[in-house]
Structure 1
Amino acid sequence: MGASGRDMSICLFGLYGLLHVMFGVPATLSSRTMAMHVPHCVLRCKDAHMLEMENEWSMDFAFPLLSLLKATGSEVAAYNRAKEICRSNELLGACLDSCNSSMERTILRMGLTPWRDICSNLQELREQFPCWRSNVQNLSTTCRVQSLELRDSFEFLTRNDSVSATQKICINLDKLSACSVKQYGLYCGAESEKFIERLFSISREAINSMMKMKYAILPTACSIGPLRRDVYSSELFTLNGASRAYSLFLLLLILYSLSLNLTLYHVPKGGRKIHR
């Protein structure tokens, strides 16, 4: 397979990860489509992990633990689920260790970085639950506008493979980050704010590491740095066709990984629908 053909197959693999987690595309369809392109061992590890996680996700863009707190009001159930997610991630890591070295394996392992921090600080996470439970309605809806904008940018990227589309996702992700940190601090104080900010910061570092696998200079909106609350530059950078396909894959798979890590927000049933 030529370089451009491999870049496109990698792009499709990343697109599957995004569509399955965010929009509910069936795992069996993607497995049939991707099996001939993606290392089988990596695909097997990913599919097993996603099957275990699939009940935690819906069109609502709800973080598993916050969603569970909202549904049950049980801090014990949320804590137990956090431990289960940590165990599932350990199994995924062990599974990936059994695979031959590949770019896909490396990126999936990078995507586990934020949860490794959470799993190393489960008691700190547990201490946040009482306030999160008391304020779960506000925490799960206040940033709905930013969540909708991020979801719209996902949809746009599936229809428009362009640098401007990837930058739009980075911009909207940062807007959601800024809103999240502010709201958790407002409702639950400095410790909760630090916890959420650290989670986003670690995730952004993972993004930085992934994208540096390809680019010496990152696009402005996707570069690492403090949470940005200003108006973003529209500056673009130029890539050739093969590199843009690689870029799309990186960002899609990054966002798939982040969807298992970041505290994304519930979108009400009356919100805009994503068409598949």
Structure 2
Amino acid sequence: MRGARVSRFFILSSVSLLSVLGASGAQAQVTSREGIALQNQIQQLSDQIQQVQSRAQSAPTSGGSAPSAPSGNGDLVSQLLQRVSTLENENREMRGELDQLSNQVQTQNATLTKQIGDMQFAAQNGGGGGPSSAPASSDAPSTPPTAPAAADKPVTALELLKTGQAALKGRDYATAQSNASQALKLAKTPNGKLESQFLLAQSLAGQKQYRDSALAYYDAYNRAPKSPRAPEALLGVSASMLALGDKTSACQALQKLDSEFPSATPRVKAAVTTFKGRASCH
């Protein structure tokens, strides 16, 4: 009796597994040859289990054969359970392959849809862009002659100084610095180099590059220590050092200015007085 109950337990378990497997197979809706073959195997296995169940139910009524029934049924149930497990794994693998194929199809459809949209966009906008570029090519021959003429025109240091000084007045300090640097290279006279150097110092100060402007002002002073630009250059050195917070160096520049140019212009003298007050010079 106990062996028969065990057999019924395994049979019922296998029947449950088959029912679950059949349900999952139905949900997957497999129509391939492998799927049909798998369903046939499941049906055959279900029939075999039903036969075993019938034998198990009739085992207690047969007196002499009862002891041998549990052993045979147990082996058969074990085989059936193993086959159920194998079929379940195969079914799971097939469902995984189906899901993978479905994802690939969706990806390909999305890619194809995007390509079609891109082609339509290019067709709609490409037709309008083509004609608009044609008139531009017809006007092209009229513009090149003026460009080479401007490029071939020589630029002198004097012209660079004039445009640089105009840029300085307009507070375009970057352009003033560029013109001053080029004029400094092209200038051939001492006065041209001095004016270029002074413009360079002014443009650097305008950009608040005070350390560089102090050096540029002092270079302008060294180029012509006795020229009218010399006291203004020393004044520029003092102003740059004040901006950097170096009051000692600012006072030294002002003392040098007083000692070397006692007869400086009123404007320079007024600036010296102002800077001395800011630097607390003694």
Q: TM class by shorter-chain length?
A: under 0.3
Q: Whose helix fraction is larger, Structure 1's or Structure 2's? A: 2
TM-score by length of structure 1 reads: 0.23
* Bigger RCO of structures 1 and 2 (CA < 8 A, at least 6 apart): 1
